């Protein structure tokens, strides 16, 4: 635990990518395998289980500290994270007094994870829970308490991406990043057996469910693309659904989301199709709600996501379809290094041999010039797409986001100028800074809230706006402040639909701040009528749910 | 009758007809210390500790009318006795004690209780009413000794001698405290941004012992600062001044660095927890040591500290709205 907390501290203490990779590599080189697999498991965010809620942790702390609850809340508002707030507060509270000798808690990470922490599940009374957690806190230093709290609450995120963890492991082991990335995909158990498989020099037997790492398109660099030979490129629509990997191996079917969640059971209508394919096949594609020859609005798909059980009614009202982009495995063989044109040809043949109403090949669009591409992009909204994806015909299927092979060329977002009406402090990195904003449009003499946005300003603007908000607060409602309606922002969004859940009667997709319009006064902001005009424009292209 | 009230110009003592750290121009301004939110330009007469004269004049102009006092020296304004006492915040910083008949009030200005080799230590002044700051008035803020943090800074600097190490910190107070603490670990020369260089000269004139320093702007263009420690004010971060240093490692020294989120959103590679303000235990302990029954809490977490003092110790404590800023969260 000490070593893992130290690693966490080192990685957290720096924003330098190099320093993070070095710290990770050093840790991986020197740590015992049994701890190492647990560290990987935690760093890659594979834990989904929450043993104790933040609320319970807070209750335990309040009991042992005798601190007034309001003071804890004030502290939490400043820190934005319960686990950290408690760790900071414990610096000044002598828990060690009267606690049993706890030297034996100086245990390696795997002991903590396999033996010690799971104990909380068997505790029956609150008194036992308080005693148990308090004895751990008493045995650990400040930073270890923070790490432990994070482990307990299951919200284990650290300032390091999956990519950096894999890079650190590659430096430590000499195994290429792409191989490690693949071996670490999907679910794994943090065991010695897995460790041996992971670091084995030869290709290893993998479990049938294991997905490949996704390859992602990067935003188009227009200057760079201009010099390309266009005949070597393929254009497809960029769909606004969920990216997925569909696997059929040894009679079993699996569907993975890009976030590496297994979503097989959310889409039962795709299973007969997947089952009908020959074993040893892996497809990459987009799952969309689809009707006739066009996608339905994303709101339909939204209803299908994250459900444990999908009713027949749900399926009938929100029918899904797979738009197949790529073929990653064929006849049990990894095809990712073949050029795109070959993979696509095989994919085409496959879909022709096993036709299904729920599977379509992503269409290759006709173009011969950049002007054609611009024209296509302009038509994307009418197609119900959100732009184009451009792929080099000879591109292999790589790992992650590597520029130069696949580009995404998205539509310009729709935008409206709106007035800042409410602000709320963020959490985590943005705790104690007003960064969650509500924007409004004019309806006659009234301002009606129409969108919340959290992103789009740079740090300097965030700080400036935070100061402005503090000085121009009209009223406080709990954590929310209403402010003088005078600041205008250009809000960009991808789509707009009717909504009876919002006072404005509309909801927008992916709203974000494009610009702070200091040149505009509140009276110059847009009206709800303008938003409804955009809505009508959208309606012509996609069918929104009623 | 209260000895001190808040007027639009600032904290005012009617019996003595003077202001303490006024935020507008007044006739007589008693200044606790020379930080910008406490010492503002335009007043007719400035009364402050003798030792702060140099810095106050650098900040407000050498033409100001200045009256210097020694710590503890009694002054009389009308019928009221006034004296200045060390606050341990920065060089020359003072708490201001006012006494009328049998009543004593103390205005703390900014203060800290940790050891700081660059200024006189805080002195507890018993009083009936204490006006305290509360910049770090939450129990999440608990400081380690300055020497411990400066050792961390020293180790960070030594850990990468192939690059310049740029440490950002407040130009007045924090920088000199670090330079004074560093004498325990090294006698290597440290390089200073112009703003810090000039204030450091004032500290040397006042007899504060610090490690050798040079101004970055006095170095030849070809000088690369490889392996050097450079101190600069936060305003220089990501400025054109920074371009002179090739691939520096950067860090920020401030009390705000205690919280992970605050550290991460600033974009410095490292954060060191070092403050010239009292931490939570320091604030609570100080208020109790003064034996004051009435406490006004000015800037920072004034509501939390006032409520805590009221609930836990039965003091008559309340927030007092001022324009002081403490250790600016954003600079």
Residue ending a domain, among A102, A118, A153, is A153
Q: Which member of A75, A428, A459 has the closest CB to residue B138?
A: A75
CA B331 to each of CA A299, A464, B237, B251: distance values in angstroms, whole numbers, following the listed order: 43, 11, 10, 15
Residue A433: how many other CB atoms lie within 10 Å: 23
Contact B269 A15 (CB under 8 A): yes
Confidence of residue A428 (pLDDT cuts 50, 70, 90): low
Contact A68 B258 (CB under 8 A): no
Q: Please provide the average confidence, as pLDDT, over all residues in chain A.
A: 88
Contact B261 A85 (CB under 8 A): no
φ and ψ of A419, to 5 deg: -100, 135
Which of A266, A302, A343 is CA-nearest to residue A255? Answer: A266
The verdict on A368 and A251 lying in the same domain is: yes
Averaged pLDDT for residues A78-106: 75
- State how far residue A134 is from chain B, nearest Cα, in angstroms: 18
Confidence of residue B220 (pLDDT cuts 50, 70, 90): very high
Establish if B284 touches chain A: CB-CB under 8 angstroms: no
Please report, for chain B, the start and end positions of each structural domain, with discontinuous segments joined by +. 5-140+276-319, 146-272
The verdict on A445 and A368 lying in the same domain is: no
Contact A89 B270 (CB under 8 A): no
pLDDT in tens, A151-204: 888 767 676 888 899 999 999 999 988 889 888 888 788 999 889 888 887 766
Chain A residues with beta carbon closer than 8 angstroms to that of B139: 67, 71, 75, 88-89, 92
> Residue A96's pLDDT is what?
55
Contact B140 A88 (CB under 8 A): yes
Chain B residues with beta carbon closer than 8 angstroms to that of A19: 269
Chain B residue with CA closest to A13: the answer is B270
Question: Residue A539: is its pLDDT beyond 70?
Answer: no
Q: Which residues pair with B99 in a beta bridge?
A: B81, B104
Chain B residue with CA closest to A429: the answer is B261
Which of A375, A279, A273, A278 is CA-nearest to residue A324? Answer: A273
Which of B261, B263, B250, B226 is CA-nearest to residue B156? Answer: B250
Chain A residues with beta carbon closer than 8 angstroms to that of B265: 429-430, 433, 459
In A25-84, the residues whose Cβ lies within 8 Å of chain B are 67-68, 70-71, 74-75, 78-81, 84
Which residue in this structure is represented by tokens 């919002």? A502
Q: Specify whether the CB–CB gap between A41 and A117 falls below 8 A.
A: no
Contact A430 B308 (CB under 8 A): no
Question: Residue A399: is its pLDDT beyond 70?
Answer: yes
Contact B268 A430 (CB under 8 A): no
> Residue A238's pLDDT is what?
94
Question: Residue A545: is its pLDDT beyond 50?
Answer: no
Question: Residue A343: is its pLDDT beyond 50?
Answer: yes
Averaged pLDDT for residues B114-127: 96
Question: Residue A106: is its pLDDT beyond 90?
Answer: no
Q: Which member of B139, B262, B270 has the closest CB to residue A92?
A: B139
> Residue A323's pLDDT is what?
96
CATH code: domain of residue A131: 1.10.3260.10
> Residue A534's pLDDT is what?
82
The verdict on A139 and A275 lying in the same domain is: no
Question: Residue A131: is its pLDDT beyond 70?
Answer: yes
Contact A78 B259 (CB under 8 A): yes
Q: Please provide the average confidence, as pLDDT, over all residues in chain B.
A: 93
Q: Specify whether the CB–CB gap between A27 and A7 falls below 8 A.
A: yes
**pLDDT higher for B1 or A467?**
A467
CA atoms within 13 A on the CB side of A168: 27
- State how far residue B65 is from chain A, nearest Cα, in angstroms: 34
Q: What is the CA radius of gyration of chain B?
A: 20
DSSP string for residues in B300-318: ESHHHHHHHHHHHH--EEE
Question: Residue B285: is its pLDDT beyond 70?
Answer: yes
Give me the total of CB pairs closer than 8 Å, taking one residue from chain A and one from chain B: 71
> Residue A16's pLDDT is what?
81
- State how far residue B278 is from chain A, nearest Cα, in angstroms: 14
pLDDT in tens, B104-113: 999 999 999 9
Establish if A446 touches chain B: CB-CB under 8 angstroms: no
CATH code: domain of residue A465: 2.40.50.140
**pLDDT higher for A222 or B197?**
B197
Contact B261 A429 (CB under 8 A): yes
Confidence of residue A449 (pLDDT cuts 50, 70, 90): very high
For the ranges A91-105, A122-136, A193-207, A513-527, the lowest mean pLDDT is seen at A91-105
- State how far residue B243 is from chain A, nearest Cα, in angstroms: 18
d(CA A61, CA A87): 10
Contact B142 A92 (CB under 8 A): yes
Domain region containing A431: 414-539
Helix (H) or strand (E) holding A392: strand A387-392
The verdict on A317 and A350 lying in the same domain is: yes
Angle at B31 between CA B25 and CA B35, to 5 degrees: 90
Q: Using the 8-state DSSP alphabet, how is residue A454 labeled? A: -
d(CA A404, CA A263): 30
Question: Residue A102: is its pLDDT beyond 60?
Answer: no
Chain A residues with beta carbon closer than 8 angstroms to that of B249: 16
Alpha-carbon dihedral sign for residues A459, B36, B123, B96: negative
> Residue A544's pLDDT is what?
45
Which residue in this structure is represented by tokens 């380690």? B144
Chain A residue with CA closest to B279: the answer is A92
Establish if A305 touches chain B: CB-CB under 8 angstroms: no
Residue ending a domain, among A368, A388, A410, is A410
- Residue A208 DSSP SS3: coil
Averaged pLDDT for residues A352-360: 94
Averaged pLDDT for residues A466-495: 86
The verdict on A418 and A406 lying in the same domain is: no
Averaged pLDDT for residues B232-261: 91
Chain B residues with beta carbon closer than 8 angstroms to that of A78: 138, 140, 259
CA A486 to each of CA A45, A477, A513, B197, B211: distance values in angstroms, whole numbers, following the listed order: 42, 19, 16, 42, 51
Chain B residues with beta carbon closer than 8 angstroms to that of A75: 138-140
pLDDT in tens, B36-78: 889 999 999 999 999 999 999 999 999 999 999 999 999 999 9
Averaged pLDDT for residues A336-347: 96
Confidence of residue A104 (pLDDT cuts 50, 70, 90): low
Averaged pLDDT for residues A39-53: 84
Q: Which member of B258, B267, B271 has the closest CB to residue A459?
A: B267
Which of B131, B145, B164 is CA-nearest to residue B247? Answer: B164
Residue A249 lies in a domain: yes
pLDDT in tens, B208-218: 999 999 999 99
The verdict on A378 and A461 lying in the same domain is: no
Chain B residues with beta carbon closer than 8 angstroms to that of A458: none
Q: Using the 8-state DSSP alphabet, how is residue B66 labeled? A: E
Q: Over pLDDT 90: what percentage of chain A?
A: 45
The verdict on A147 and A17 lying in the same domain is: yes
Establish if B258 touches chain A: CB-CB under 8 angstroms: yes
d(CA B208, CA A253): 75
Residue A7 lies in a domain: yes
Q: Which residues pair with A296 in a beta bridge?
A: A543
> Residue A474's pLDDT is what?
84
> Residue A205's pLDDT is what?
67
d(CA A200, CA A33): 13
What number does CATH give the domain B5-140+276-319?
Answer: 3.60.15.10
DSSP string for residues in A52-110: S-HHHHHHHHHHHH---HHHHHHHHHHH--HHHHHHHHHTTS---TTPPP-GGG---HH
Residue A352: how many other CB atoms lie within 10 Å: 9
Q: Give the list of residues 6+ apart from residue A258 with CB closer than 8 angstroms, or none.
A: A214, A242, A243, A244
Q: Using the 8-state DSSP alphabet, how is residue A426 labeled? A: B
DSSP string for residues in A276-309: HSPSSEEEEEEEEEEETTEEBPHHHHHHHTT-SS
Averaged pLDDT for residues A317-341: 95
Residue A193 lies in a domain: no
Q: Which member of B258, B265, B269 has the closest CB to residue A88?
A: B258
Chain A residues with beta carbon closer than 8 angstroms to that of B257: none
Structural domain count of chain A: 3
The verdict on A387 and A250 lying in the same domain is: yes
Contact B249 A16 (CB under 8 A): yes
Contact A431 B259 (CB under 8 A): yes
Residue A206 lies in a domain: no
> Residue B329's pLDDT is what?
41
The verdict on A143 and A259 lying in the same domain is: no
Residue ending a domain, among A410, A445, A474, is A410
Question: Residue B330: is its pLDDT beyond 50?
Answer: no
Looking at A188-311, list the stretches that DSSP marks H as alpha helix, in order from N- to C-terminal side: 192-199, 222-226, 271-276, 298-304
Establish if B307 touches chain A: CB-CB under 8 angstroms: yes
Establish if B155 touches chain A: CB-CB under 8 angstroms: no
Q: What is the 3-state secondary structure (H, E, C) of A510-533?
A: CCEEEEECCCCCHHHCCEHHHHHH
Residue A192 lies in a domain: no
Torsion, Cα B43 B45 B47 B48, to 10 degrees, reads 50
Establish if B269 touches chain A: CB-CB under 8 angstroms: yes
Hey, of B149, B260, B278, B305, which one would you mutate to test binding to chain A, going by the most A CBs within 10 A of its CB?
B260
| Backbone angle region of B241, left / alpha / beta, with phi > 0 → left and psi within -120 to 50 → alpha | alpha
The verdict on A479 and A509 lying in the same domain is: yes
The verdict on A402 and A448 lying in the same domain is: no
> Residue A93's pLDDT is what?
79
- State how far residue A15 is from chain B, nearest Cα, in angstroms: 5
- State how far residue A328 is from chain B, nearest Cα, in angstroms: 39
Residue A163 lies in a domain: no
Q: Is A385 exposed, middle or buried (0-12, 13-18, 19+ CB in 10 A)?
A: buried
Q: Same CATH topology for B5-140+276-319 and B146-272? A: no
Question: Residue A268: is its pLDDT beyond 50?
Answer: yes
Confidence of residue A532 (pLDDT cuts 50, 70, 90): confident
> Residue A546's pLDDT is what?
39
Residue A203 lies in a domain: no
Q: Specify whether the CB–CB gap between A199 and A173 falls below 8 A.
A: yes
Domain B146-272 has CATH 1.10.1660: no
């Amino acid at each position: 635990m000490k070593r893992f907390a130290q690693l966490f501290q080192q990685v957290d203490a720096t924003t330098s990518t190099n320093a993070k990779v070095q710290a990770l590599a050093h840790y991986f080189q020197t740590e015992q395998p049994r701890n190492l697999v647990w560290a990987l498991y935690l760093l890659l965010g594979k834990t989904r289980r929450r043993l104790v809620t933040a609320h319970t942790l807070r209750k335990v702390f309040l009991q042992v500290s005798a601190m007034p609850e309001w003071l804890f809340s004030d502290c939490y508002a400043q820190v934005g994270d319960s686990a950290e707030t408690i760790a900071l507060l414990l610096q000044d509270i002598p828990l060690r007094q009267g606690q049993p000798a706890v030297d034996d808690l100086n245990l390696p990470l795997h002991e903590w994870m396999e033996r010690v922490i799971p104990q909380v599940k068997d505790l029956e009374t609150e008194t036992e829970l308080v005693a148990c957690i308090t004895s751990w806190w008493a045995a650990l230093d400040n930073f270890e308490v923070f790490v432990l709290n994070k482990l307990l609450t299951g919200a284990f995120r650290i300032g390091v991406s999956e990519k950096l963890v894999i890079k650190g492991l590659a430096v430590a082991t000499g195994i290429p990043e792409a191989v490690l990335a693949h071996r670490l995909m999907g679910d794994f158990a943090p065991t010695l057996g897995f460790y041996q498989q992971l670091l084995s020099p030869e290709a290893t037997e993998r479990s049938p469910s294991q997905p490949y790492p996704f390859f992602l398109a990067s935003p188009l660099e227009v200057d760079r693309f201009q010099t390309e030979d266009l005949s070597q490129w393929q254009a497809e629509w960029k769909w606004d659904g969920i990216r997925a990997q569909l696997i059929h191996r040894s009679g079993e079917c699996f569907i993975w989301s890009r976030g590496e969640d297994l979503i097989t059971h959310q889409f039962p209508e795709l299973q007969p199709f997947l089952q009908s394919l020959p074993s040893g096949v892996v497809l990459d594609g987009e799952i969309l709600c689809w009707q006739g020859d066009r996608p339905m609005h994303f709101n339909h798909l939204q209803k299908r996501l994250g459900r444990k059980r999908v009713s027949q009614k749900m399926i009938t009202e929100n029918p899904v379809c797979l738009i197949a982009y790529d073929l990653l495995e064929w006849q049990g063989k990894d095809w990712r290094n073949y050029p795109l044109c070959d993979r696509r040809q095989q994919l085409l043949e496959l879909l022709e041999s096993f036709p299904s109403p729920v599977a379509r090949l992503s269409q290759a669009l006709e173009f011969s010039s950049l002007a054609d591409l611009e024209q296509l992009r302009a038509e994307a909204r009418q197609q119900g797409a959100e732009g184009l994806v451009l792929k080099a015909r000879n591109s292999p299927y790589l790992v992650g986001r590597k520029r130069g092979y696949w580009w995404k060329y998205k539509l310009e977002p729709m935008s409206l100028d709106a007035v800042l009406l409410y602000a709320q402090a963020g959490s985590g990195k943005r705790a104690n800074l007003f960064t969650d904003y509500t924007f409004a449009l004019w309806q006659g003499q009234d301002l009606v809230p129409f969108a919340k946005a959290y992103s789009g300003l740079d740090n300097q603007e965030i700080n400036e706006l935070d100061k402005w908000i503090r000085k121009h607060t009209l009223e406080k409602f709990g954590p929310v402040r209403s402010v003088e309606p005078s600041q205008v922002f250009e809000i960009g969004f991808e789509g707009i639909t009717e909504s009876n859940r919002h006072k404005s009667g509309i909801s927008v997709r992916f709203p974000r701040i494009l610009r702070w319009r200091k040149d505009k006064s509140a009276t110059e902001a847009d009206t709800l009528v303008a938003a409804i005009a955009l809505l009508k424009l959208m309606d012509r292209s996609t069918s929104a749910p009623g | 009758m209260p000895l001190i009230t808040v007027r639009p110009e600032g904290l005012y003592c009617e019996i003595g007809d003077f202001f303490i750290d006024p935020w507008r121009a007044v006739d007589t301004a008693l200044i606790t210390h020379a930080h910008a939110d406490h010492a503002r330009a335009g007043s007719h007469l400035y009364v402050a500790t003798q030792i702060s004269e140099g810095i106050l004049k650098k900040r407000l102009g050498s033409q100001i009318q200045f009256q210097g006092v020694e710590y503890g020296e009694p002054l009389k304004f009308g019928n009221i006795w006034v004296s200045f006492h060390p606050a341990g915040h920065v060089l020359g910083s003072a708490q201001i004690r006012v006494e009328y008949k049998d009543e004593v009030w103390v205005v703390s200005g900014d203060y800290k209780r940790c050891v700081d080799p660059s200024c006189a230590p805080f002195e507890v002044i018993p009083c009936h009413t204490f006006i305290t700051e509360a910049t770090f008035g939450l129990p999440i803020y608990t400081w380690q000794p300055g020497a411990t943090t400066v050792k961390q800074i020293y180790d960070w600097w030594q850990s990468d001698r192939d690059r310049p190490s740029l440490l950002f910190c407040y130009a007045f107070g924090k920088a000199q405290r670090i330079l004074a603490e560093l004498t325990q670990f090294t006698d290597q020369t440290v390089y200073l941004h112009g703003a810090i260089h000039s204030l450091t000269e004032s500290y040397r004139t006042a007899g504060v012992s610090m490690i050798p320093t040079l101004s970055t702007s006095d170095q030849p263009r070809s000088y690369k600062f490889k392996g050097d420690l450079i101190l600069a004010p936060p305003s220089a971060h990501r400025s054109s001044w920074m371009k002179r240093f090739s691939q520096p490692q950067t860090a920020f020294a401030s009390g705000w660095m205690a919280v992970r989120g605050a550290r991460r959103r600033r974009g410095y590679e490292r954060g060191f927890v070092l403050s010239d303000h009292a931490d939570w235990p320091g604030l609570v302990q100080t208020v109790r040591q003064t034996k004051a029954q009435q406490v006004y809490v000015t800037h920072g977490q004034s509501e939390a500290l006032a409520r805590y003092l009221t609930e836990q110790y039965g003091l008559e404590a309340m927030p007092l709205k001022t324009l002081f800023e403490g250790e600016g969260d954003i600079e």
